[in-house]
Amino acid sequence: MVWNRPQLIKAAVALAAASMVMTACSSGSSAPSTPSASVNPSSTAISATGVQPTLVGMHVEGVEAGAWPSAPFGALRLWDNGTAWSQIELEPGVYKWDNLEGALENAQAKGMTDVLMVLGTTPEWNAKKVSPDDYPQPGAASAPKDLKAWDAWVTEVATRYKGRITSYQIWNEANLKNFWNGTPEEMAELTKRAYDIIKKIDPEALVVSASPSTRLTASFTKFFPAYLKALAAKDWPVDVIGFHTYPAADGDPVARGALIQATRDALTAAGAPADIPLWDTELNYGLAGPGANLPKQEITGAKAAGWIVRTYIDDLRYDVARSYWYIWTQKPYDLLGIQAYPGSDGEQGFFALQNWVFGANFDGCTENGDAVTCNFSKDGESWIVAWAQKGEVPFTAPAGTKLVCDPLANCQESQEGAAITLTEVPLRVYLQ
């Protein structure tokens, strides 16, 4: 672990607004516009030994060539790494495994055992429709014209990588035309065929549904309910439901919570199994497009680190079993609002998660107006992580308060009864 040790600042109790904290009570009363929080969610990210690192997934730019994050995480998703079907089976029955082999060898060398691979996209030679706008190359968004070729591809991958790839996602953002221009029913058929093949070859591997982008309401409602209906007709041939929660460019973790709720509402309407896990397989904030014509939001400092912390604690609150951050890079990546690369504020957010959440018992959260307070414990110690959903909220430091820290490891001694202002930057309150 690489962590900047807290600097104890012995000063007055009043904290600067950028690094203020909480207590379990608040004067506000407005109802939150986010999913109903579970006090003790039955998430697969929580075990008898506390919150598992698999709660935090990651995309890694250049993982196929040896790149690896300095920040802690517990699950890897292969996407944008040259590992899609269209990038491997360049002609029928001829496979170029270099990138996939490189990514898996790198993961194994780093001790990463939880690897999710996206099975789509369609090679041009098997595409019904070829468009120059398809991603990552023409034809990639098409439904396969020969389903036997899809079966052969899935069989080849599942056989070759049994035990090395632990989960397979059918497709990426299948409600967007540059990723999928087939029908929801065709996607459900690909899902069922892949599920049956994978389970026969590698029963322990998990099959994750095609993910919709939840941000674009029209395309989401056109694709996702129909896809779920088709999956229901096939008796739900998935182990996990995947979805993506990029809020609008000016969106925040509260807006992400509404997207989680939209996904849950669609699942409920479709009669999906109540216990099926949810994985957010791609997210960030500040994304400029597609969708609303808004400029990219630059999110830096304690806010960047704090929103990362809030994202994964929200997953615990809303029973999202894991989320894959997009994307770890070696230098700034212009598309996104929160950067994650060596030395970045985003990197420190992941260190804060490791320090505050990994291995701890999650003892539930309380919402009171715009105040959120979440309780953790480990090895006889207890602490609170709290923030304001919007604006600033006054709080009184609870009994036992001794130290308050923000996600950048700026800390200050405090005590019971201290007046503290809670902001959108979460803080950890250490209790005696």
User: Which pLDDT tens digit goes with each residue over 124-144?
Assistant: 999 999 999 999 999 999 999
Mean pLDDT across 31-44:
44
Length of the chain in terms of residues written: 432
Over residues 317-341, mean pLDDT: 96
pTM over 0.85? The answer is yes
Residue 190 lies in a domain: yes
**Helical pair 217-233 and 184-201, crossing angle rounded to 10 deg:** 50
Average pLDDT on 117-123 reads 98
- In this prediction, residues 180-200 reach a mean pLDDT of 98
**Is 378 a domain residue?**
yes
pLDDT at residue 16 above 60? no
Cα four-point dihedral sign 262, 120, 208, 194: positive
Between 22 and 147, where is the model more confident? 147
Say how far apart CA 30 and CA 390 lie, in whole Å.
Answer: 11
Query: How many folded domains does the chain comprise?
Result: 2
What tokens appear for 95 in the block? 């496979």
Query: Of 334, 362, 390, which residue constitutes the final position of a domain?
Result: 362
Say what the pLDDT of residue 41 is: 37
Structural domain contains residue 419: yes
Using one digit for the tens of pLDDT, what is the confidence trace for 256-291? Answer: 999 999 999 999 999 999 999 999 999 999 987 766
Do 298 and 414 have their domain in common? Answer: no
**Residue 306 resides in a domain:** yes
Q: Based on DSSP, count helices (H) and strands (E) in the chain, helices before strands.
A: 8, 20
d(CA 282, CA 210): 12
50 and 132 co-located in one domain:
yes
pLDDT above 70: residue 343: yes
Average pLDDT score, the chain: 90
Q: Using CA atoms, how far apart are residues 116 and 121, in angstroms rounded to an integer?
A: 15
Q: Are residues 331 and 389 in the same domain?
A: no
Mean pLDDT value across residues 9-20? 32
Final residue in a domain of this structure, among 362, 393, 410: 362
In a domain, 31, yes or no: no
Domain that holds residue 197: 46-362
Residue 413 lies in a domain: yes
Count the neighbouring beta carbons within 10 Å of the beta carbon of residue 68.
Answer: 16
Identify the three-state secondary structure at position 107. helix
| Whether residue 313 is found in the same domain as residue 241 | yes
Measured over the CA atoms of residue 343, residue 347, residue 348 and residue 354, the dihedral's sign is negative
For residue 46, the model assigns a pLDDT of: 82
Structure tokens at 22: 């909480």
pLDDT at 152: 98
Q: With the C-alpha atoms ordered 63, 82, 177, 225, is the resulting torsion angle positive or negative?
A: negative
The pLDDT tens digits of the residues spanning 229-248 come to 999 999 999 999 999 999 99
Q: Residue 162: helix, strand or coil by DSSP?
A: strand
